[in-house]
Amino acid sequence: MLTSSGRAPVVTQPMLVFFAIMFSFPFWADAAGLYHYLGVEIAVFIIYALGYNLLLGYTGLPSFGHGAFLGIGAYSYGLWQFSGYPGVFTGLAVAIVCAAAAAGAAALFLSHRRGIYFALMTIAFGQIFWFLAIKLRWITGGEDGLLNVLRPTLDFGALDISLRSNLTLFYLVAVLLTVLILVLWRLVHSPFGTALQAIRMNEMRARFAGYRVWLIKWTVFTLSGAIAGLAGALLCITQESAYPDVMSLHASGFVVMMTLIGGGFVSFWGPVVGAIVFILARDVLGAATETWLLWYGLLFMAVMLVEPEGVVGAWRKLIAKLRRSSVQPGPAQEPKPAAEGGAA
Amino acid sequence: MTASARQPFFLAEDLHKRFGDRVVLERISLAFEEGVVSGIMGPNGAGKSTCFNLLTGLHKPDRGRIVFDGEDITGLTPEAIARKGISRSFQIMNLFDEFTAIENIMVALPAVRSGLSRLFWDTRGDSALMDEAASVLAQVGLQGREHIRAGDLPYGQRRALEIGVALAARPRIVFLDEPTQGLGADGRAKLADLIKALRLKYTLVIIEHDMSFLFGLARKISVIHWGQVIAEGTPAELMANDWVRASDLGKVA
């Protein structure tokens, strides 16, 4: 469940496990047949998916045009670098502000909508931004995008760290992701997070409880767009370019699939798992066949048919099963407690 | 009571509402006094719920005005009206199903609503807040059910929780829309006891088509039929009213 009874600690066990895996990744990546660049990509997409899940999983708002804000973040970062300001953090800040501004503008129209009307309007806005990215050639470079966005150097006075190496870039993204996870965990367990979930469950009731639902929806959409902007800027650093493809409807669908396959509706960690599964599948399947998306699509359908709550949902059921059989050892065909059907 | 020159606590004047070319409320005027139970009665389709929806902001009246404690609240949004201390329950169950019973109450507490920017406030770990929510649950007879998901509660308890969510807002007036809907005789009796306990503390307005239920609880009842108030008065006055007796409503079960 996204809702959890009882106190939510600032740092949790799954967090520590995740941070340990992440920060040790460069040391075992080779042995696992992976590489640093892949780690950077996964971390960037986790940022993107975590921000996206504020909308989809927590507030129940399906955005199908979120690639727009990823792209706007990437372009803003690239253009900011081109105009002669090499600072990484100012670049990231500019990307966040630009993506938030675009998302905030779109959300003015979206926040009074819900359900299918909301979804359709996000598609429309996504297409508008995508179209602009292609047509405003003198700004965005059209279909080629911005090329040769050089990887900058982090300037800490005495200590300069070049991001040319994927290893240093990985640790920059990992630190940002750590901060994001800590902040988002607090956010979803604060009254604001409770309000988001209340809106998902019953928007009408939330209004009659005095919540300014449209303002909350506007805020969460803008915030989610800002986080996508951060991810976009990091993607631009990683790929040393920004291009319109990530803004297409088709690419916007990826983050939806990531979030769902991981279990964004049932867990804070759903989008994290989903982004890992997605990028790994792309790499593993992509190495085997050019039509990897076909196979990924079939995998996605299979997971959704068998376990609509995604990987995390399946994991939880497995743990619950193991617990039961260890508490009460006995025949394998132990009857299912009635409570589980209700909790599912 | 107070001076007669004073305006009633809650006043609706000349409300008119049409959907397309269908006039649902022709001309409705209602007044509810502070500290008593008022009732709105009428057959199905008479416009009772539409009337509630106008009073609580879901729809805007085409004509007329609504005044609460001297302030004109006509046309305000539901959230603005809720913030004035006007709370309501719903005829069709309207809970936050995935939240537990106590979370349903918590989310409706004004303190939580006005603490949206407090990132480090862990409401579920705040014992004072949880106590406050638990006391509201106890008021509607749901002690011991705090940590059961609203969607998993039996029907009668969901009904009670529905009222609890309305009370959690620390309301100055509470509108209950057909609270007996779907309840059996036993459930009705329990609900009547609950409302008798609540009327000592709250100003209540209850919509009901079950006449016998309302007659035992309300001090003043307005009968709505064909989009108009056709009769008004105490239960005893209404029993003697020709209009009421002529309609199906006169057949007290």
Question: Which pLDDT value is given to residue A1?
Answer: 57
- Residue with more model confidence, B120 or A238: A238
Give the CA distances from residue A67 to residues A63, A241, A261, A273, in Å, rounded to whole numbers and listed in that order. 9, 16, 18, 19
CA distance B196 to B190: 10
- For chain B, 253 residues long, the average pLDDT of each consecutive 10-residue run is 65 91 89 92 83 92 93 94 93 88 95 90 89 94 92 92 94 92 88 91 90 88 88 86 66 46
Are B138 and B241 found together in one domain?
A: no
Instruction: Name which of B83, B119, B147 is nearest A186 (Cβ-Cβ).
Output: B119
B90 in any annotated domain: no
Q: Which residue has 């719903």 as its token pair? A: B90
Q: Which residue has 């537990």 as its token pair? A: B100
Which of A54-58, A110-114, B94-98, B239-243 has the least mean pLDDT? B239-243
Are B108 and B80 found together in one domain?
A: no
Q: Which amino acid is at A6?
A: G
Q: Residue A208: which residues within 8 A CB-CB, separation 6 or more?
A: B56, B78, B79, B82, B87, B88
A137 closest CA partner among A145, A129, A149 = A145
- The CA-CA-CA angle for residues B123, B133, B158, to 5°, reads 115
**Half-sphere exposure of A269 toward its Cβ, with a 13 Å CA cutoff?**
15
B232 in any annotated domain: yes
> Is B4 within 8 Å of chain A by CB?
no
> Is A190 within 8 Å of chain B by CB?
yes
pLDDT at A185 over 90: yes
3-class state of residue B91 by DSSP:
coil
Q: Which residues of A302-332 are buried (b: 16+ CB within 10 A; e: fewer)?
A: ebeeebebbbbbebbeeeeeeeeeeeeeeee
B31 in any annotated domain: yes
CA distance B176 to B204: 7
Question: Which pLDDT value is given to residue A154?
Answer: 81
**Cβ within 8 Å, pair B83-A210:** yes
pLDDT-derived band at A289 (thresholds 50, 70, 90) equals: confident
Substitution target in B122, B126, B173 with the highest count of A β-carbons within 10 Å is: B122
Are B9 and B78 found together in one domain?
A: yes
A217 closest CA partner among A117, A114, A98, A101 = A114
First CA to last CA distance, chain A: 9
Are B178 and B128 found together in one domain?
A: no
| Total domains in the fold of chain B | 2
Residue of B nearest to A216 (CA): B116
A168-187 residues touching B, CB cutoff 8 A = 183, 186-187
Instruction: Name which of B96, B125, B149 is nearest A202 (Cβ-Cβ).
Output: B96
Instruction: Name which of A190, A201, A213 is nearest B121 (Cβ-Cβ).
Output: A190
Paired strand residues for B233: B221
Question: Which pLDDT value is given to residue A39?
Answer: 95
Give B75→chain A minimum CA distance, Å. Answer: 14
For range A7-13, the mean pLDDT? 84
CATH code, A13-329: 1.10.3470
Tokens read off for B114: 């006005």
Question: Which pLDDT value is given to residue B6?
Answer: 64
CATH number at residue B72: 3.40.50.300
> Is A337 within 8 Å of chain B by CB?
no
Give A82→chain B minimum CA distance, Å. Answer: 36
Q: What is the complex's ipTM, to 2 decimals? A: 0.90
Chain B residues with CB under 8 Å of A196 CB are none
pLDDT at A276 over 80: yes
Are B179 and B248 found together in one domain?
A: yes
CA distance B98 to B151: 6
Residue ranges covered by each domain of chain A: 13-329
Tokens read off for B85: 């201390």
What is the per-residue pLDDT across B223-241, written as a single tens digit (0 to 9) for each?
988 888 888 898 888 888 7
Paired strand residues for B204: B37, B174
Give B126→chain A minimum CA distance, Å. Answer: 8
Are B191 and B241 found together in one domain?
A: yes
Question: Which pLDDT value is given to residue B236?
Answer: 85
Final residue belonging to a domain, choices B108, B140, B165: B165
Instruction: Report the length, in residues, of chain A.
Output: 344
Substitution target in A112, A179, A202, A266 with the highest count of B β-carbons within 10 Å is: A202
Q: Give the structural domain span for B253.
A: 1-85+171-253
pLDDT at A299 over 80: yes
Are B192 and B220 found together in one domain?
A: yes
Which of A184-188, A333-337, B124-128 has the least mean pLDDT? A333-337
Are B183 and B151 found together in one domain?
A: no
B136 in any annotated domain: yes
Give A162→chain B minimum CA distance, Å. Answer: 35
pLDDT-derived band at A340 (thresholds 50, 70, 90) equals: very low
Are B182 and B159 found together in one domain?
A: no
Question: Which pLDDT value is given to residue B184?
Answer: 87
> Is B105 within 8 Å of chain A by CB?
no
Question: Which pLDDT value is given to residue A341?
Answer: 34
CA distance A340 to B190: 30
Give B112→chain A minimum CA distance, Å. Answer: 6
What pTM was computed for the model? Answer: 0.90
Final residue belonging to a domain, choices B136, B165, B194: B165
**Cβ within 8 Å, pair B116-A192:** yes
Final residue belonging to a domain, choices B107, B130, B165: B165
B113 in any annotated domain: yes
Are B37 and B151 found together in one domain?
A: no
CA distance B225 to A310: 52
What is the per-residue pLDDT across B46-94, written as a single tens digit (0 to 9) for each?
788 889 999 999 999 999 999 999 999 999 999 999 999 999 998 877 8
B16 in any annotated domain: yes
Question: DSSP string covering A13-48, please?
Answer: HHHHHHHHHHHHHHHHTTTTT--HHHHHHHHHHHHH
Q: Which amino acid is at A333?
A: Q
Are B26 and B76 found together in one domain?
A: yes
Which of A5-9, A31-35, A142-146, A314-318 has the least mean pLDDT? A5-9
> Is B59 within 8 Å of chain A by CB?
no
Are B180 and B244 found together in one domain?
A: yes
CA distance A190 to A318: 29
Residue of B nearest to A212 (CA): B79
